Each structure stands twice: as C-alpha cells, then as structure tokens.
A and B are shown apart, each in its own frame.
Chain A
C-alpha cells in the first residue's frame, strides 16, 4: 500500500533521512521505533509532504506521491496524527472534527463518522462545545485521532500518540488504535518511542537509528530480539 524507497530528506544542510526503505501492506499496523532524533517524525513528515524528500520515491497504492502538496496527499487518503497533537486551540471540539472532514462532501457520512468517534471516545461528546485548547492532554490526543478518522483515511500515520500521557490513558488509546485497525481495516503506520507498547499491537516493526533503518522484522520477533530488548525495551 505504501512504499518508501531510498528516501533522503534534509533540513537545510542537515540530512535527517539517509536513504530509508519501508513497505506497508493493506490492513497492517506497522510501527517505527527508535530513539529521539532518529528521524521517525521526519519519515512521517516526508510521507505527508510537509518536508518533501530531496531524493528517493514514495508510492501510495502503486502511484508516486513524491512532490505532491500536503493537501493533495490528504486527498489520496493519507492522514496524520502529528506529534504533540496539534489541536486547533480556539476551535471547539466539533469544529476541530469538522476540519478533519474538510475535504469531504458527504454530509451524512460525516455525521455518521462523528457519531462513531463519539462512541470511541464518549468524553469528547461531553466536551463538544469546548475550545480544543482547554482539553486535557489525553482528551486532546483522543480529539487528534478522531479528527484524523473524520477524513476516513485509508492510511493513518500516527506520531507518538503516547507522548506525555498517563499510563492508563495510553493503554486506552492503544486499545482504540487496534480497534480502528480491526474494525475498519485502516492501515496504520505508528511511530513510537514506547517500543514495548507499540510492538504489542503492531504486526511488523522497523527500528531506526540516525536516519537509517537498522532492523525490520515481525513485531513478535523484535520483542524477543536481544539488541532491541537492550536498546529500546530497557531489559
């Protein structure tokens, strides 16, 4: 479904991605784990077109999307829940959700999806008229995921959904991510520092170090891999 082929991305003169290859099949949850500054966020930003790669190619369902504008990439069905949630602080919860459905024309479908995300996260329904900036961190993360779902994405990119949240909320959110994948067959590309949790819900994983992919395997094997356990699982 998504194929990242020898992608090199730079910030000015600093090379953040040194030729990475990732392949994701329809319906999978793939996780990309690695330390701070390894290039995980850059990978997602390259796919979304916010930081376009300088060389290499990205294919979505066989078609090249390198060089497309971010909004054109969203139109194809690739949505991102960015790191730090990026809630529109002065828009209400409902307006934030509407922004997620910005490109959709089917009002009925949008209403159904709104009910669906409210069923996933009932707390958001209670806060629907509250400004996004007044929500707690956990609620903002729920809203960020819901907003992305409002676009009916075929590929959902998620950047550190566990960042700064209480363990209980993290568990709830990861449960929902698994549920989204199972119920609507949405393909998920999950970037996480919390490798343990990410590998538990993912099918396959990639390990990233200093802008390169160093390992790739099924999630179960990565969980048992001696190097990965030492470096990222803290055992």
Chain B
C-alpha cells in the first residue's frame, strides 16, 4: 500500500510540474490559437536564472529559505520579461498572417533560445543546488513523500487556486475569457486585445518558471535542452486534457504524470514514454478534442 501511495504521489508531483508548464500552452492556444513551441525554453530560462541567482546569493551568505524565495521570484520576473519580448518580436507582427507562419516563428524562437543558452552557458549538465531544505517534521513520511515533492505539490496548488480565482472574478480574467471566445467582439466591447495577449504570455511564463525552478531543485541538474523535453511532455498533457481549456490542461497533466509514474513503478521506466503516448493516442481516438476539450460548433 505504501508503495502504491508513493507512486501515486510521485505521479502527482510529476503531474504538477507538467501542469505548471501546460498552463502556458493551453492559455496561449486559447487566446491566439498558437502552439507556442518556445514555451519550454521559458521554463528552461527560469531554471537557469534561478541557478545563477542561487549561486550568487549562496556565495554572499544568504540563508537557504531566502535564497529559494529570491531565486524563485527573480526567475519568474526574468522569464516573464522573456515571454513578453518574445511575443512582441516573434508573434505580434504575424497576428494577421496565416497560422502556420506563427508556428514556424515559434519553432525558430525555440531553437534560438536553446542555442543562445547553449552558447552563453555550456552544453554540459550543470549541478543545481537543492533550494528546498528537508524539514525535520517531514522525516517520518520521507518514505512516501519527500519535502521537495510536498513543496512542489503545495506550490502548484496555491498557484492554480490563485489563477482560477483570478480568471473567474477579476476584470483582466474576464477580458481573457472573452478574448479567448471571440477576439473581434472582445475588441468591440473595449478590451485592449494586445494587452490581454501580452498578459497571457506573462502568466504562462510565470507558471513555467515556477515549474522550472521546482523541478530543477528536485532533480538537481539542468542543461539547455531540458525545456524541449519538458515542453513536449507538457504539450502532450495540454492536448490530452483538451487544448485551450485550463482545467483540461491540469487534468491532462495529472493523467500523464500518473501514467508515467505507474508504468515506471509496476512495469519498467524504459516504457514510460511508450505508455504515455499510447495513452494519448487512445484518448484522442475516443475524444478527439481531449478529455475536457470542447469541439467547435458555432450557432448561426
């Protein structure tokens, strides 16, 4: 039973990280129908920023908790700046262009950022410090869930709750929902659509950066390529749940996390990707729009 619980919570942790990244995919898709392939790179840049900040602050003698918080905050801010700039440079000029152009631009942006980090840093894996200390009171439960995992779960839960409240009740949240449903009409009700789009990129980047810092600290090493792998997985999760839908992305991420984790736990870790993608294909056969996706049908 403990083994099952351990695997279950492990899958939940994985799912949380996927969910934090998948949010950016699904929100951006919901608003401008673009698969932002460079989104994984934002996550990677978040992790690198945290690494640099943490290294400097540790040298300066800050304590662990303040290093963690400052690294997280700065990683979020830095990633948001990247996402904001990226949208302005690579996507905004292509707003009226065919959708394929923006997609190619996204792939280009992804390769550019990967190689930029490769040249600016190194191609080797870099050790990432453990930013989250092991708390003593977690000791008795360590065989089921580590402090790292618990922090990941709690941070994700807090982030999701704030986001849900934000989208449901605030002015900007309503503007985002309206824009995702009908861009022209949103503009005709007085919404500054470009601002909503920028904002969406920023929220997505913030979530991805949080995910990047948490997972890097959990796994303990990073390189320029982590964004690509995590990005693809999160993208799969978003599609699985129904791209464009926020609850869908979260659900899809947990389903993917559990699939991988149970496969690793009961079959073999060699097969985790096989099962994950098999599951994706199966779900898409029976629900082409994803688990919570809605098929487009407009009333005339």
Q: Is the CB of A102 within 8 A of B171?
A: yes
B188 pairs with A50, CB closer than 8 A: yes
CA distance in complex: A71, B187 (Å): 6
- Assess A102 versus B177: contact at CB under 8 Å? Given A82-B185, A86-B184: no
CA of A44 to CA of B178, assembled, Å: 21
Which residues on the B side are within 8 Å of A164 (C-beta)? 300
Return chain A residues, CB-CB under 8 Å to B188. 48, 50, 70, 74, 79-80, 82, 86
With an 8 A cutoff between CB atoms, is A100 at the interface? yes
| Residues 124-175 (chain A) with a chain B CB within 8 angstroms | 133, 137, 140, 147, 151, 164
Identify the stretch in B19-27, B35-43, B130-138, B190-198 within 8 Å (CB) of chain A at 4 or more residues: B190-198
Which secondary structure dominates where chain B touches chain A?
helix
A69 within 8 A of B: yes
- Asked whether B174 is an interface residue with its Cβ less than 8 Å from the other chain, the reply is yes
List the one stretch of A89-97, A214-222, A224-232 in contact with chain B.
Answer: A89-97
Shortest CB distance B105–A (Å): 20
Interface string of B162-199 (1 = CB under 8 A from A): 00000000010011011001101111111111100000
The reply to whether B181 and A90 contact each other, CB–CB distance below 8 Å, is yes
Q: What CA separation (Å) do A75 and B185 show in the bound complex?
A: 15
Would you call B187 and A86 a contact (CB within 8 A)?
no
Taking a contact as CB atoms under 8 Å apart, the answer to whether A82 and B184 are in contact is yes
Contacting pair A88 B185 (CB below 8 A): yes
Contact with A along B280-292 (1 / 0, CB 8 A): 0000000000000
B-facing residues in A49-93 (Cβ within 8 Å):
49-50, 69-71, 74-75, 79-80, 82, 84, 86-91
Known contacts A89-B182, A102-B171, then 4 further A-B pairs from the complex at CB < 8 Å, ordered by chain A residue: A69-B187, A69-B192, A71-B190, A100-B189
* A70 with B187: CB separation less than 8 A: yes
Whether, in the assembled complex, A123 has its beta carbon less than 8 Å from a beta carbon of chain B, the answer is: no
15 A–B pairs (Cβ distance < 8 Å), ordered by A = A48-B187, A48-B188, A74-B190, A86-B182, A86-B184, A86-B188, A88-B178, A89-B182, A99-B186, A100-B189, A102-B171, A102-B174, A103-B190, A133-B299, A164-B300
Task: Report the interface size for chain A: residues with CB under 8 A from the other chain.
Answer: 30
Interface residues of B in 258-300 (CB under 8 A from A): 298-300
A147, B187: Cβ atoms under 8 Å?
Answer: no
> Separation in Å of the B218 CB from the closest CB of chain A?
36
B239 → chain A, closest Cβ, in Å?
A: 20
Q: Known interface pairs A86-B185, A91-B178, A99-B174. Does A71 touch B192 (Cβ–Cβ under 8 Å)?
A: yes
Residues of B within 8 A of A209 (CB): none
Chain B 189-211, CB within 8 Å of chain A: the 1/0 string? 11111100000000000000000
Measured between beta carbons, the chain B residues less than 8 angstroms from A103 are 190
User: Of all chain A residues, which has the CB nearest B195?
Assistant: A71
Residue in B181, B182, B190, B300 whose CB lies within 8 Å of A102: B190
Whether A99 contacts B178 by the Cβ 8 Å rule is yes
Residues from chain B with a CB closer than 8 A to the CB of A79 are: 188-189
Enumerate chain B residues within 8 angstroms of A69, measured Cβ to Cβ.
187, 192, 194
Contacts of B184 in A (CB 8 A): 50, 82, 86
Does A28 lie at the interface of the complex (its beta carbon under 8 Å from any beta carbon of B)?
A: no
